[in-house]
Structure 1
Amino acid sequence: MSSTTPTAAAMKEDEQESFVVVRRNKKKGKAADEQAPPRLAGLPFSTFSQALRDQFSTLQEPPVRAKSSSPTPPATQTDVIVERYKNLEKLLREARESGDLSRLFRNKLVVDPTLHKESEPSDGDRVAYSLRLATKQQIWDRMSSDLLTQEEIMEFYGILEKWADKTPKPLNTKWFRWVERGLRDRGVLVYEKYIDYVSFTKAKEEMHPKIREWLTTTKFMSLMSESDDKIFRRLPIIHLFNYVMKRVWLIQTRLGFINYDLDCQGYLTEEWMESYIRELLPTLQQLEGMESALEPFYLCAASRKFFFFLDPRHIGKVQIVAIMSSMLLDEILELRDSVVRDTNWFGLYSLLRVYKHYVLLDTDANGMLSQEEFLKFNYSSCGASIYLTEAFADALFSEKMTYHGEMDFRAYIDFVLAMENKSEEQAISYFVKVLDIHGKGYLNSGDLHYFYKDVYKILSESNPEAPKFDDIKDEIFDMVKPVNPFRITAADLFKCGKGDLVIGMLIDAKSLDDYENREFVVNPQ
């Protein structure tokens, strides 16, 4: 039985076999087994409760599917969208048959219409306090007027059903039904009911005024681009219903954020973001078994992902509009479903995977990582080995905030997010700031040479023909093709599409070794 995060014994074996650890052991005069993290069973109870140990012990990798001679092609974005709409159709049908409309809204954010009040301020702040409350109430009243009740939404769907599947003029009804049946048999039409534009305009006259305001002709035509009925030019009514539901959900979500936007500026600080997630926890089905001792670490890991991707200027706050327009909110609310992807960062599996490895690195069990402990980092969500250089660790601990020269869990989460998303613009900016040792805003040949020296030393111990710096420098500049031929910026790395590869070549000896031997990896024979 294996796990995504290696056990202490597995890490010990990997360290004994890796050329990186051999190099460090020779340099520091330590045996490989002295550097291996302690076994989980030996961790002190002051660090972990028994329940938390049990959760770690049950952490397993997702089952690996057996490879077939004719592998199934990966699902496309269109397949994902179709599956989502068909699930919504099924949910609608079940809700109407059972009469329990609340089932339709089980994955939506329920908003308490009662505003959370702040603690009573001092006399000097009472005017500002009253003004904030009045502003919140005004925003609440204005936005809540756009909300639709469950009955109004179901009435809207009934209107769509009434006008759906009408024979488009001037077609013959029998001929039209015969063609439609044939298209369904061949899987061309996959949804239950469709509506054309003429029927849509007639149905629109019976809709709620607010829905009529949302469903314009322009919106109908834009939704047509997702329709699978290219012959009769009809739109699945579930697309219209989903659009209205999404508008209602966005209003509900925005109303929910009012309680946490204490200064009414449209931003959330990290503390307020953690408060929002904390109140979401009881509604997330996938986190029901989470040990209470893990909650602070979960809140830190969850909020840091929002700020890592949505706060590029590092001002300590994120726009509520940016949160709502990103896919991160959908990702965390996905935990209300009965089945969740193992790759979901906000899932319990991901938290245990990251936190368990953090604890294994923390050999002195003080809750922080020293630079020596951090250098044992050999973890990747993709399962590949990672061997960081001392030059990179020095630069990282100098650039990022540390406490008495040690890294806390918050800084470690930022590093893991950057490593797992090296091709993303935010991660590239993260690494460029670390590699830019003089704070110039770009990388030049001197920066590349400084970090490549350690990589070369590691590779040359096992490969006398390790590539020289001039060759690597020329290859990097050829791959990136920067605007300034002597300077590489974060924008250049992101634009070239190979920023993750370049970063790996400078900070990870194993990454460069794999790149240099890519022909053998692709074709071992």
Structure 2
Amino acid sequence: MEEEKKEEEMALFTKNYMEWKGGGKRDYSYNNIPRFYYRLPAEDEVLQQKLREESRAVFLQRKSRELLDNEELQNLWFLLDKHQTPPMIGEEAMINYDNFLKVGEKAGAKCMQFFTARVFAKLLHSDPYGRISIMQFFNYVMRKGKIKIQDILACSFLDDLLELRDEELSKESQESNWFSAPSALRVYGQYLNLDKDHNGMLSKEELSRYGTGTFTNVFLDQVYQGCLTYDGEMDYKTYLDFVLALENRKEPAALQYIFKLLDIENKGYLNVFTLNYFFRDEIFDMVKPKDPCKITLQDLVNSSQGDTVTSILIDLNGFWTYENREVLVANDNDSSADLDDT
């Protein structure tokens, strides 16, 4: 009896020991665990580098499509304003939960994430009628205070953020870094200088003095029609988007921002009429689009001339520089020759 008990214990021990070592019956679910680590391609692995760049670009495009564009934001504001619940508190429009849900049904699928009981409760404070501020909710939609870690890792601005850790970073590098204190002060200072009437907003006339003051009237009209404004004036948030796009015109996201302003017929491409509306037909020769009668955003990106083309279309100084490029090059050569002679 005792021998049988020892043999049973030994068999149980052996069974558990072998399973612990992996020698017994295996859990084949481990074979289904997806691979989560891929090494970065080396510099000489050109194909893998290109694949990584294309994958990242597709990912960012997919994420950008999830964001509300200016037209969708304007539609959301219109719906909120239409469904406001009286009485107003001073000049602030309010909305109750029933109308809040009605707006959510009409605003579209991309907005549904904001029309939840949790969001409403978060913005509900001490209103006696159980309402929330329309402006406060709208600001919540535009400035939702969360960024996913994977989105940060996928974006190119992470390098700029990490660069700020260098305590010995030169003044020039700090000024060119969008996230640095000198850069923020520069942009904010520009905004204050443009705001001549000191009302905290920029009118079209005030924005026309931006930079060298050479924006075309046609382009400024499109800016104030296509961007989110309040009674025809631009706030600082919209101004930041505007400046960021203009200062990074080689980036696909910046080109997309400007492209929407240039696409006056909302067709998804720039045709002869559109370009004539702004300036010149010769732009087709610069871009060399797939379709000779229209220019798509992808054509603009592929041409590597996107920054030049958008400068020509929106900035008189950019157009003049392009038109006189041969003269400028000749002058530079003459200046270099004079320096060599001395």
TM-score, normalization by structure 2: 0.53
Alignment match of 1:444 (pick from 250, 264, 271): 271
2:223 counterpart of 1:396? yes
Code of the residue aligned with 1:450 in structure 2: it is Y
2:201 counterpart of 1:368? yes
Residue 223 (structure 1) shift: 5.9
Name the counterpart of 2:157: 328
Distance in 2, matches of 1:363 and 1:491, equals 39
Alignment match of 1:349 (pick from 137, 158, 182): 182
Name the counterpart of 2:234: 407
Q: Deviations over 1:226-257 (max 9, x none)?
A: 9xxxxxxxxxxxxxxxxxxxxxxxxxxxxxxx
Q: Which has the higher contact order (CA 8 A, sep 6+)?
A: 1
Distance 1:330 1:423, change over 3 A: closer
Structure 2 counterparts to residues 185-224 of structure 1, below 5 A:
none
Identity %: 44
Residue 319 (structure 1) shift: 4.7
The alignment partner of 1:402 has SS state of: coil
Distance in 2, matches of 1:394 and 1:354, equals 22
**Is 1:386–1:511's contact at 8 Å kept on the other side of the alignment?**
no
Name the counterpart of 1:498: 305
Distance 1:225 1:436, change over 3 A: closer
Query: How many residues are matched?
Result: 200
The alignment partner of 1:443 has SS state of: strand
Residue 478 (structure 1) shift: 1.1
The alignment partner of 1:523 has SS state of: helix
Residue 335 (structure 1) shift: 2.4
Code of the residue aligned with 2:315 in structure 1: it is D
Distance in 1, matches of 2:148 and 2:302, equals 25
**Is 1:443–1:489's contact at 8 Å kept on the other side of the alignment?**
yes
**Is 1:377–1:386's contact at 8 Å kept on the other side of the alignment?**
yes
Q: Deviations over 1:136-190 (max 9, x none)?
A: xxxxxxxxxxxxxxxxxxxxxxxxxxxxxxxxxxxxxxxxxxxxxxxxxxxxxxx
Name the counterpart of 2:287: 480
TM-score, normalization by structure 1: 0.35
Distance in 1, matches of 2:300 and 2:206, equals 30
Residue 520 (structure 1) shift: 1.7
Code of the residue aligned with 1:353 in structure 2: it is R
Alignment match of 1:377 (pick from 210, 223, 228): 210
Structure 2 counterparts to residues 262-281 of structure 1, below 5 A:
none
Residue 317 (structure 1) shift: 7.6
Code of the residue aligned with 1:368 in structure 2: it is M
Distance 1:387 1:437, change over 3 A: same
Q: What are structure 2's unaligned runs of at least 5 residues?
A: 1-34, 46-112, 114-138, 335-342
Residue 346 (structure 1) shift: 0.8
Code of the residue aligned with 1:428 in structure 2: it is L
Name the counterpart of 2:130: none
What's the C-alpha RMSD, in Å, of the aligned pairs? 3.1
The alignment partner of 1:488 has SS state of: strand
**Is 1:395–1:434's contact at 8 Å kept on the other side of the alignment?**
yes
Code of the residue aligned with 1:522 in structure 2: it is V
Code of the residue aligned with 1:448 in structure 2: it is L
Residue 330 (structure 1) shift: 3.6
Q: What are structure 1's unaligned runs of at least 5 residues?
A: 1-213, 227-268, 270-299, 308-314, 379-384, 453-471
Residue 450 (structure 1) shift: 1.6
Name the counterpart of 2:80: none
Distance in 2, matches of 1:480 and 1:375, equals 28
Distance 1:500 1:396, change over 3 A: same
Residue 352 (structure 1) shift: 1.0
Structure 2 counterparts to residues 6-45 of structure 1, below 5 A:
none
Name the counterpart of 1:290: none
Q: Deviations over 1:320-379 (max 9, x none)?
A: 31211334234223323212322111111101111111100000001100011011112x
Residue 512 (structure 1) shift: 0.9
Name the counterpart of 1:337: 166
